[in-house]
Amino acid sequence: MTTRHLVCLAVLLALPACGKSPDFNTDREMPAALPDYATGGGGTASGTEGTFDHPAALGDITTDVREALERIEEEGPPAYTAHVHSCRKIPYATLGRVLTSRGVDLAAEGSSAGALFRESDQALGAPNYGARISESTDVTVATASRLFDIFVQAAPEIIAAMPSLEACKIGERGATMFDAEGACTADGISCLLGVPATETHVALCDTFVARASTPEIGRAIAVASMLAANFTCE
């Protein structure tokens, strides 16, 4: 069954729900000669030898009815889901600003986070307006994995830069991601995530560090993991 069939079925199904009469007997204007219309063909273009392209969407991305149904089954009906926040992908430009404000040099070369970011616009769902495609809001596997790659590369830069970042200062004092003993700090996590750190955040962060092969690797994994979790949804 094609999408078009599903849509037709859906329209038919929806009509009674809309409160429209299912009775076809109406005195609304009727075609003059029903059999002619039913035959198609006749030298005009809509016969069997003249069908037309009807693109599924204005761009090339769309959600078909089956996908929408699966979403309803997973998330609930529109009258519920419309009330609650969705998990949308962080926009490409927003990610760039967030990284910059947390100390990442987006102009850096090599295998840096900045270079990865610059090369990842398609994987991160950036728009292609020339093809009439808006920025994607979906978090795909490719998007999530590339985000984590970027965060892993960005973590050492963020840790090093945090004390001097305007976004992480209270007065003249900048927050640090880790204290002198190497433990995670609540202020550092709060600045990293943009929400107040909880005790769970801090404990989880310390666990990441403790379980790594070296403290340096552990700190990077801790920061990258928290960023990835935080930015799975904008």
Partner 1 sequence: MTQLSSKLAIPTAIATLLVAGCGGYDYANEPAAAPSVTDAGTRADAATSVEADAGAAPVDDGYGPTVDTSGTLSAEWQARLASRTPDYSAALRTASLRLRGELPTLLETKFVAGAGNARLAYESFIDAWLEDPALQGQLLTFWRNTFRAGGSAELNAAPAFATWLVLEDRPLTELFTAETGACATITDGVISPGDCDNGVPRHAGVLSTPGLMSHFRSNLAFRRVRWVQETFACTAFPAEIDAPIDVGGASPYTAPWGFETIAGEGNGGRIDFHDVSSVTCANCHATMNHLAPLFAHFDDDGMFQDDFAVRLPLTDSPVALRSDWLPEGEETGWRYGVSATTLPELGEAMANDPEVEACFVARAWNFALGKGDIVATLSVVPTTVIATERAEFAAGGHRMKALLRAVFTSDDFTSF
Which residues in the 59-98 window bind partner 1 by CB under 8 A? 59, 61-63, 65, 67-69, 71-73, 76-80, 82-88, 90-91, 93-94, 97-98
Smallest gap from Cβ 80 to partner 1, in A, equals 5
Which residue number, 193 or 212, has a Cβ lying nearer to partner 1? 193
Q: Tell me the C-alpha distance between 232 and 139, whole Å.
A: 7
* Residue whose pair of structure tokens reads 């076809």 in the numeric block: 24
Which residue number, 190 or 212, has a Cβ lying nearer to partner 1? 190
**163 binds partner 1, rule: CB under 8 A:** no
Annotate 71-114 with DSSP letters as a single string.
Answer: HHHHH--HHHHTTS---PPPPHHHHHHHHHHTT--TT--TTSHH
Q: Which residues contact 231 (CB under 8 A, 6 or more apart)?
A: 90, 95, 98, 147, 151
Which residue number, 59 or 156, has a Cβ lying nearer to partner 1? 59
Applying CB under 8 A, the span of 11-19, 113-121, 143-151, 177-185 interacting with partner 1 comes to 11-19
Size of the site for partner 1 (CB under 8 A): 102
- Please pick, from the candidates 1, 34, 141, 180, the single residue that binds partner 1 as defined by CB under 8 A: 34
Instruction: Report which residue type is found at 179.
Output: D
Binding mask 200-229 for partner 1 (x = CB under 8 A): ------------------------------
Which residue number, 35 or 110, has a Cβ lying nearer to partner 1? 35
Which residue number, 63 or 207, has a Cβ lying nearer to partner 1? 63
Q: 167-186: which residues touch partner 1 (CB under 8 A)?
A: 167-170, 175
Smallest gap from Cβ 22 to partner 1, in A, equals 7
Under a CB-based contact definition with an 8 Å cutoff, are residues 175 and 169 in contact? yes
Smallest gap from Cβ 160 to partner 1, in A, equals 17
**3 binds partner 1, rule: CB under 8 A:** no
**Which 3 state secondary structure label does DSSP give 133?**
strand
Residue 170: C-alpha distances to residues 13, 56, 173, 187 (Å) = 59, 52, 6, 10
Residue 116: C-alpha distances to residues 47, 91, 106 (Å) = 52, 16, 9
Residue 208: C-alpha distances to residues 17, 79, 156, 171, 220 (Å) = 53, 40, 15, 30, 9
Q: Residues in the chain, how many?
A: 234
Q: Tell me the C-alpha distance between 224 and 208, whole Å.
A: 10
Q: 125-144: which residues touch partner 1 (CB under 8 A)?
A: 127, 129-130, 132-135, 137-138
Smallest gap from Cβ 199 to partner 1, in A, equals 14
